Amino acid sequence: MDRVDIVIIGAGVVGLSVAAQAAREDRSVLLLERHDSFGRETSSRSSEVIHASIYYPPGSLKATLCAEGNELMVDLCRRHSIPHKNTGKLVVAVTEEEAARLPDLLKTAQESGAKGVRIIDGGEARRLDPNVSCVAALHCPTSGIVDSHALMQYYRAVALEGGVAEAYSVEVRTLDRRRGGYLVGVREPTGEGFEVGTRVVVNCSGLGSGEVSAMAGMDIDEAHYRIFFRKGVYFRVTRGLDHLPSMLVYPVPPADATVGIHTCPDLAGGMRLGPYDVWSDGVEYSVDESLGDHFYEACKPFLPSLQRSHIQPDTAGIQAKRFGPGEPSRDFVIRDEADRGLPGFINLVGIESPGLTASPAIGKMVAGLVEEAL
Ligand SMILES: Cc1cc2nc3c(=O)[nH]c(=O)nc-3n(C[C@H](O)[C@H](O)[C@H](O)COP(=O)(O)OP(=O)(O)OC[C@H]3O[C@@H](n4cnc5c(N)ncnc54)[C@H](O)[C@@H]3O)c2cc1C
């Protein structure tokens, strides 16, 4: 295949959702992925939470696409039997000081589009989940969890059914503007390579999204497209699960701009705690065993039955952030870069959390940009 209508770079949950929505009989779409299968990076290392849109600045892409994605996700999971559960979520205040911060959080959540969110007292929180301890909480009834692998399989099946071609173990190395589109150069594991011409390129390359923007000739520092790696570490609860909540339980967000270490129940009845976030120089997934005490201390105030001996190191994942240590948080970038001299280069940069939740809404938004570009 030397020339196609659309090249999508990256087969994570976002690239697959875009592929599912871009697929049409009368156009050729090629999905390129550097690993030998889909979902080998961030998309298979998340908390798998369907977020309600509580924390993001109202009006931001994160807030609007999360709120829309929450509804679309639940609907498509129901219609296509994708394993998921509407667990609900509590953001728990364990002191009166923390309780005093809940009204601000409620206001942000309501303005961000979260549905049915309200403040409840400690008694009502315990009636919802007897294994939680708090003086008050924010209750988010639309939060839940999803089997992210099954979700990706679903998007991929829709894409393939719609005629999308996929190529694995190929890394995009060059991206040159040509009359009427782009020439995409890829390298195969053998060291050999090939080039594909295309009218439209969609950059869904996650941790690689800054590099791919640079390949297209953009100044990624001026555009704030440089990607910083933020590693999130998890511990697994191996015992005492009967006395832990089945809901998602989060602390009132700490001052470090994270959502704090929370419960991550899974659909198989297991539970992780996390993530604990640290900046990382590169992509590596080691988990520091010595963090166990910190996890225990962080969760014990709202999980009274948790024992230190019940938790063990588990996995880690890496978020693609558009800001580094000490910098203010930045929104998702989802745009056609026509105004930078790159028409038809549809760029998705910094798709960190809530990218999984937002994925159906991102796919829809990008499909609109693709229509305009073709
Ligand atoms: C610890 C953690 C917890 C999270 N929890 C949640 C949560 O609970 N809920 C939620 O909504 N979101 C969550 N997220 C965020 C969510 O996981 C991401 O937003 C989402 O997975 C991003 O998907 P993606 O497709 O953009 O990236 P990826 O899954 O990383 O996919 C990008 C793909 O592009 C490929 N690629 C990169 N460069 C190239 C290249 N040059 N050539 C070819 N292929 C390339 C990569 O190999 C990769 O497969 C979490 C993330 C982390 C790290």
List CB contacts of 239: < 8 A, sequence separation 6 or more: 307, 309, 310
Q: Are 322 and 224 in contact (CB under 8 A)?
A: yes
What is the best residue among 44, 149, 353 to mutate for testing ligand 1's pocket, by most ligand atoms within 8 Å of CB?
A: 353
Position of tokens 């009989």?
Answer: 25
Find the 5 Cα to ligand 1 centroid distance in Å.
Answer: 24
- Which residue has the CA at smallest separation from atom 2 of ligand 1? 46
Distance CA(332)–CA(254), nearest Å, equals 22
The pLDDT tens digits for 263-309 are 999 999 999 999 999 999 999 999 999 999 999 999 999 999 999 99
Ligand 1 centroid to Cα of residue 212, in Å, is 15
Q: How far is the CA of 301 from the centre of ligand 1 (A)?
A: 31
Report the amino acid identity of residue 163.
G
Which residue minimizes the CA distance to atom 3 of ligand 1?
46
Distance 256 CA to ligand 1 centre (A): 22
Q: What is the pLDDT along the chain (374 residues), one digit of tens a residue?
A: 589 999 999 999 999 999 999 998 889 999 999 999 999 999 999 999 999 999 999 999 999 999 999 999 999 999 999 999 999 999 999 999 999 999 999 999 999 999 999 999 999 999 999 999 999 999 999 999 999 999 999 999 999 999 999 999 999 999 999 989 999 999 998 999 999 999 999 999 999 999 999 999 999 999 999 999 999 999 999 999 999 999 999 999 987 778 899 999 999 999 999 999 999 999 999 999 999 999 999 999 999 999 999 999 999 999 999 999 999 999 999 999 999 999 999 999 999 999 999 999 999 999 999 999 99
Helix (H) or strand (E) segment spanning residue 371: helix 355-373
Q: How far is the C-alpha of 288 from the C-alpha of 283, rounded, in Å?
A: 15
Query: pLDDT at position 136, please?
Result: 98
pTM above 0.95, yes or no: yes
Task: Specify the DSSP element, H or E, that contains 363.
Answer: helix 355-373
How far apart CA 20 and CA 154 sit, in angstroms, is 9
Strand partners, 120: 137
Q: Which protein residues are within 6 Å of ligand 1, measured from CB?
A: 9-15, 32-35, 40-43, 45-49, 51, 171-172, 204-208, 212, 232, 275, 317-319, 351-357
CA distances from 222 to 213, 214, 219 (A): 12, 11, 6
Alpha carbon 34 to chain centroid distance?
19
pLDDT in tens, 190-209: 999 999 999 999 999 999 99
Nearest by Cα to 216 from 346, 330, 109: 346
Side by side, the strands of the sheet bearing 262-265 are: 262-265, 271-280, 228-237, 311-321
Contact 337, 347 (CB under 8 A): yes
Q: How far is ligand 1, taken at its centre, from the CA of residue 210, in Å?
A: 13
* Peptide bond between residue 343 and the one before it cis (omega within 30 degrees of 0): no
Using the mean position of ligand 1's atoms as its centre, give its distance from the Cα of residue 300 in Å.
30
**pLDDT at res. 1:** 56
- For ligand 1, atom 50, which residue shows the shortest CA distance? 46
d(Cα 215, Cα 211) in Å, to the nearest integer? 6
